[in-house]
Structures are given as structure tokens and as C-alpha cells.
A and B are shown apart, each in its own frame.
Chain A
Amino acid sequence: MTKVVDRSPLNFYERTYLPALVEGFKVTARHFVRSVKGENTATDLGDGYYPEVPWRVEGGYRGAPYLVRDQEGATKCVSCQLCEFICPPKAIKITPPGPEAGPADRPNAEKMPREFEINMLRCIFCGLCQEVCPEEAIFLQQHYSLSGLSREEMIYNKEKLLKLGGVHAGIQKWKHKLEEAKEQESFPVNVG
């Protein structure tokens, strides 16, 4: 449906600028009075202001990307480096384990990164790493206030990312494979 906007020329009263003054005063006075009386929900948060009482963000918020562990405490990342390749500002740097490093800390994973660094000064919080990750190992979480005293400090390493990321109690992608394998070990017994 087309909405026709009324563009008729201003009448004399409107051209004196008085209605604009009156309306402007009404709007500003309303906000002013509300703020002074403390009825303004935008400014009155009840229990305090930002640095002491952090701002609470909703679930879908895209904050800093952190690595997560599964519910058994194992690293989910398998060092596939897809996030490193897709990262638009090249904030992610993964050091793969190489031949000499040990196996991953969970069964059914061939490898895990030896080092995983995100430069939070480069990160643009786009969420592509989360989208591309086939293992659901990296998530944009709800931290929004990242600060440090040096550039080096703002490069988060694997240990720090895992600690901040916590546990993601989602699906364990290769769990059923592991269980199948276990069942196969006792295959003849089941037939019985």
C-alpha cells in the first residue's frame, strides 16, 4: 500500500516557528522531568551503573569468540583451521600439532591444536568462525568488555580461551561412533 505523505506548504502559524518551539519544549521537558524524578528506565538501573554492575546481554549477543570444552572436559577443537582461513581480519592463528605432538585429549579426535591464538584487537566479532566450525568448538560468547594494558596481553592463547569459554554442553559429534566402536569390541558377547 502506498502511503502519501502530506507535503502541503506550511501555514502562517507553522512558519512563525512557534509550533516547533512548543513541541520541542514539550518533548525535552517530559524527558527532563522523568529523569529528575528518577522514573527513567533508561538511566535508572536500580542496583547501580555499568562498571560495578555489568550490563547484562541477551542470549543471541555476539561477544568475544572463545573455545569450549565438551561435558567431559575435553577440547572440542580438532585443529582443522577452517576458522583461521575464514576469519576476515585474520585474527585467529592456529599452530597445528605436527607429527611429534601427542594425540588429542579425547577419543575419536585425530588431533587438537598445539596453540590457538585470537588477537582480540583484530577480531571484529563477525561470528564466521562459529558458523564455519564443524566441531562446534568455538562460540561467540557474551563478554563485551575486553581490555588489557598491552597489545601482547590482548592476544588470547588456547589456555585462556578454553578457560574463558567454559563448557558447551551441546551434542558430542563423535560420541555415537565411540559407542559403536565400544560395542564392536564386545560384539560376540551380545550375539549370545
Chain B
Amino acid sequence: MLENLFIDPTFQFVLFSAAKIAVVFGVVMTFVAYAVLVERKVSAFIQDRVGPNRTAPPLALKIPVLGRFLQRCGIFQPMADGLKFILKEDFTPAYVRTIYFWIAPAISVIPAFLTLAVIPFGSTLGKQQMVIADLNVGILYTFGIVSLGVYGIVLAGWASNSKYPFLGGIRSSAQMISYEIAMGMSVVSLFLIVGDLNLSKLIQWQADNGWLVLYQPVAFVIFLVSAFAETNRLPFDLPESETELVGGYHTEYSSMKFALFFLGEYANMIASSAMMVTLFFGGWSLPFLGKPADSLLGGLVHIGIFIAKMIVLMVVFIWVRWMLPRFRYDQLMDLGWRRFIPIALLNIVLTALGVALFNR
């Protein structure tokens, strides 16, 4: 009876999917925590500061040399941060629209994690494909989910029932919707070339024919900039803009609810980095490692390659934040509507012509 259950393909599918979800969730959460640390350290170094270098559990300092070194690197800081978020007072102002105020953080964090479902983060490990859901409409699913992300922020801004969050929410709705168009158009040209919406097949095509960033540099630039706008990162962090809107849409939030927004922002960064790796940088493949792995070690190497590429893009995200000043709102809209959308359209037309001429 029990043996039959384990052989049953449906059960196996459920089991492996659950395992993959758990592992991916855990890895992404760790990534979020340490991305925050890297952000703080990089910003500190760029701005001639020291960054977190004190937090350490007492036991860790007992290790000779290494303990002190890890303390100086701030390795233990994310744990302290997490603990702080959990233990802080969760304050709900009296004037908020309570129900929406409560669900907004959840709505903003869920899409960030959902997009990770279709991203192939490795080739195969044993017999399992290293993607949670190998959808044939992978990219459409991603864009569908990403566009949900705006609801969390708009709801938060509206439910807070105060000026600054409201302005932040309005800005973000306009910004994210405009840049989604440019973003969506920029990837159309990729799928014209590849001819398939399945992200695993996209990566296999890149492994065979070279990275798509070489074929579509314009699309990559548009996608990258739109990703900054979509994740509300500087230079496009107008929904948050600390200097003018206090904290933007999350001004009224505290404790774990704020942490969820924070988590959502970083999870979004990770998701869009992973997306860019998949779409433009050949996913888990390297020019000389293009075949799906046939051994356990090969599978792990592919996952490692994917994560390494992702980390590079994360560092780009983080570095740009400390490099560029924030755009003015009209400049942001101008860039989105009057530059990127026409360029993306032109790019589609030219790519279509190219495909029609050369791909007979």
C-alpha cells in the first residue's frame, strides 16, 4: 500500500514540488537577509562609512580570529534585524482602513515569491527538473503576477489614510503600470527569436546558440531599467522617496508589516535578477556547459552558476542605488512613455523583419 503510494507519479510530483518550494523559499529568504546586509555594507563603503560591524552572539566571539572577522563583516546582523522586526511593537494607527491596511503587506509580498515559481534555477538534479512549475506560458505567467505587485503598494497607500503614503501609492501605480508596458514589449523580441514561451526551452536555446543579451542588447537595457522601476529601486524609487514622502507607501507601517514590504522589495529584486539571468544571460548554462546535467554534481554546478549570475545582477541593483540620484516624476514618465515604449516597438519590428528575412 505504502510502496504503491511512493511509486504513484502524482504523489511523487506533489512531494518533489513541495520539497522544491521549501528549498527555494528558504534560499530566497536567506538571500533577502544577506542582500540587505550587502546593501548596507556596500553603501557604507561607497559613502566612507563602516557599516554594521558589531552584532555577534557571545559564543561566536569565542572562535579565535574568525569570530572577530565575521563580526566585522556583519555576518550576524541579519539575524538581529529579523529578531528586531519580530519583537517590535506592531502599531496600527487609529485612522487607517484596517482590513486593507492589514492585507496590503501580504499582497505586496506574495507576487514577489510567486514569480519565482516558473524560473528554472538549474537544469536537472537526478531526474527532477529544477523548476517548480515548468509552464508553457512561463513569461506570460510572470508578467501577470508582476502586475499584481502594484496592488499591494496602492492598497497600502490608500489604506494608510494619510497624505504621504497616498502620494506614494499614486506615484507607484502610474510608474509600475507604465514600465510594465515597456518591459513586456522588450521581451517580445526575445520570443520572436526563440519561438517558445517556455522558459526552460528559452534557456536551452541560449545554451545552443549563445546568450540572448548578445542578440538583443537594446531589449536588455530596456528590461533592466524597467526592472529598476518595477522594483521601486533608485533611481526610480518615487513611491518611497524618503526625502520627500518620508517613507512613501509604508510610512504608517511598523514592525512585521513593514518588514513584509521590505521583504517584498528585496524578493522582487531577486525575482527580477533571476528573470534577467533566465531571459538574457543563459540561465544555468555557460558557453561550455550547455547540456542538461546527467550527474548530481553537474546539476549542483548548474544551480551554482545560476546563483552566481544572479548575485552579480543583485550587486548591480545595489550599486546603482548609491550611484544615481532619483529621477523627477515627469522625467520618469517621459523616459517610460516617450523613450522606451517607442524604442521597444521599433525593436520588435526590426527583430520581426530580421527573423522573417534570415530564419527561413
Do the two chains belong together in a single complex? yes
- The residues of A with any CB-CB pair to B shorter than 8 Å are 20-21, 24-25, 27-28, 31-32, 35-36, 40, 42-43, 49
- Asked whether B44 lies within 8 Å of A35 as measured between CB atoms, the reply is yes
Is B49 close to A, CB under 8 A? yes
**Chain B 148-182 per-residue mask, 1 if CB under 8 angstroms from chain A, else 0:** 00000000000000000000000000000000000
- Asked whether B44 lies within 8 Å of A28 as measured between CB atoms, the reply is no
- Asked whether B45 lies within 8 Å of A49 as measured between CB atoms, the reply is no
- Asked whether B319 lies within 8 Å of A42 as measured between CB atoms, the reply is no
Query: In the complex, which residue of chain A has the Cβ closest to the Cβ of B50?
Result: A43
- Asked whether B323 lies within 8 Å of A43 as measured between CB atoms, the reply is no
- Asked whether A31 lies within 8 Å of B46 as measured between CB atoms, the reply is yes
Tell me how far the C-beta of A49 lies from the nearest C-beta in chain B, rounded to whole angstroms. Answer: 7
Give Cα distance in the complex from A21 to B225, angstroms: 13
- Asked whether B324 lies within 8 Å of A40 as measured between CB atoms, the reply is no
Is B243 close to A, CB under 8 A? no
- Asked whether B50 lies within 8 Å of A32 as measured between CB atoms, the reply is no
**Chain B 319-343 per-residue mask, 1 if CB under 8 angstroms from chain A, else 0:** 1001110000000000000000000
- Asked whether B324 lies within 8 Å of A20 as measured between CB atoms, the reply is yes
Across chains A and B, which 4 residue pairs bring their CB atoms closest together, nearest first? Answer: A35-B45, A42-B48, A24-B323, A28-B46
Query: In the complex, which residue of chain B has the Cβ closest to the Cβ of A20?
Result: B324
Known: A31-B47, A35-B48. 18 other contacts (CB 8 A): A20-B324, A21-B323, A21-B324, A25-B319, A25-B323, A27-B323, A28-B322, A28-B323, A31-B46, A32-B42, A32-B46, A35-B45, A36-B45, A42-B48, A42-B49, A43-B44, A43-B48, A43-B50
- Asked whether B49 lies within 8 Å of A43 as measured between CB atoms, the reply is yes
**Chain B 41-72 per-residue mask, 1 if CB under 8 angstroms from chain A, else 0:** 01011111110010000000000000000000
Question: Chain B binding site: helix, strand, loop or mixed by DSSP?
Answer: loop
- The residues of B with any CB-CB pair to A shorter than 8 Å are 42, 44-50, 53, 319, 322-324
Give Cα distance in the complex from A172 to B49, angstroms: 46
Give Cα distance in the complex from A24 to B322, angstroms: 9
A49 contacts across to B, CB distance below 8 A = 50, 53
Tell me how far the C-beta of B340 lies from the nearest C-beta in chain A, rounded to whole angstroms. Answer: 12
Q: Which of A24, A31, A32, A43 makes the CB contact (< 8 A) with B324?
A: A24
Can you give 28 contacting A-B residue pairs, CB < 8 Å?
A: A20-B324, A21-B323, A21-B324, A24-B323, A24-B324, A25-B319, A25-B323, A27-B323, A28-B46, A28-B319, A28-B322, A28-B323, A31-B45, A31-B46, A31-B47, A32-B45, A32-B46, A35-B44, A35-B45, A35-B46, A40-B48, A42-B48, A42-B49, A43-B44, A43-B48, A43-B49, A43-B50, A49-B53
- Asked whether A31 lies within 8 Å of B48 as measured between CB atoms, the reply is yes
Tell me how far the C-beta of A124 lies from the nearest C-beta in chain B, rounded to whole angstroms. Answer: 26
Give Cα distance in the complex from A48 to B322, angstroms: 26
Tell me how far the C-beta of A14 lies from the nearest C-beta in chain B, rounded to whole angstroms. Answer: 15
A42 contacts across to B, CB distance below 8 A = 48-49
B45 contacts across to A, CB distance below 8 A = 31-32, 35-36
Query: In the complex, which residue of chain B has the Cβ closest to the Cβ of A45?
Result: B50
Give Cα distance in the complex from A23 to B129, angstroms: 44
Query: In the complex, which residue of chain B has the Cβ closest to the Cβ of A35?
Result: B45
Query: In the complex, which residue of chain B has the Cβ closest to the Cβ of A30?
Result: B46
Give Cα distance in the complex from A173 to B324, angstroms: 59
B42 contacts across to A, CB distance below 8 A = 32
Give Cα distance in the complex from A36 to B44, angstroms: 10
A24 contacts across to B, CB distance below 8 A = 323-324
A25 contacts across to B, CB distance below 8 A = 319, 323
Give Cα distance in the complex from A12 to B324, angstroms: 20
The residue among A35, A36, A42 with the most chain B CB atoms within 10 A of its own CB is A35
Give Cα distance in the complex from A24 to B42, angstroms: 15
Query: In the complex, which residue of chain B has the Cβ closest to the Cβ of A24?
Result: B323
B319 contacts across to A, CB distance below 8 A = 25, 28
Tell me how far the C-beta of B350 lies from the nearest C-beta in chain A, rounded to whole angstroms. Answer: 19
The residue among B44, B48, B319 with the most chain A CB atoms within 10 A of its own CB is B48
Query: In the complex, which residue of chain B has the Cβ closest to the Cβ of A33?
Result: B45
B323 contacts across to A, CB distance below 8 A = 21, 24-25, 27-28
Give Cα distance in the complex from A61 to B44, angstroms: 27
A28 contacts across to B, CB distance below 8 A = 46, 319, 322-323
Query: In the complex, which residue of chain B has the Cβ closest to the Cβ of A50?
Result: B50
The residue among A21, A32, A42 with the most chain B CB atoms within 10 A of its own CB is A32
B50 contacts across to A, CB distance below 8 A = 43, 49
A36 contacts across to B, CB distance below 8 A = 45
Give Cα distance in the complex from A49 to B49, angstroms: 11
Give Cα distance in the complex from A28 to B324, angstroms: 10
Tell me how far the C-beta of B49 lies from the nearest C-beta in chain A, rounded to whole angstroms. Answer: 6
Give Cα distance in the complex from A28 to B43, angstroms: 9
Tell me how far the C-beta of A18 lies from the nearest C-beta in chain B, rounded to whole angstroms. Answer: 11
Query: In the complex, which residue of chain A has the Cβ closest to the Cβ of B42?
Result: A32
The residue among A28, A31, A36 with the most chain B CB atoms within 10 A of its own CB is A28
B49 contacts across to A, CB distance below 8 A = 42-43
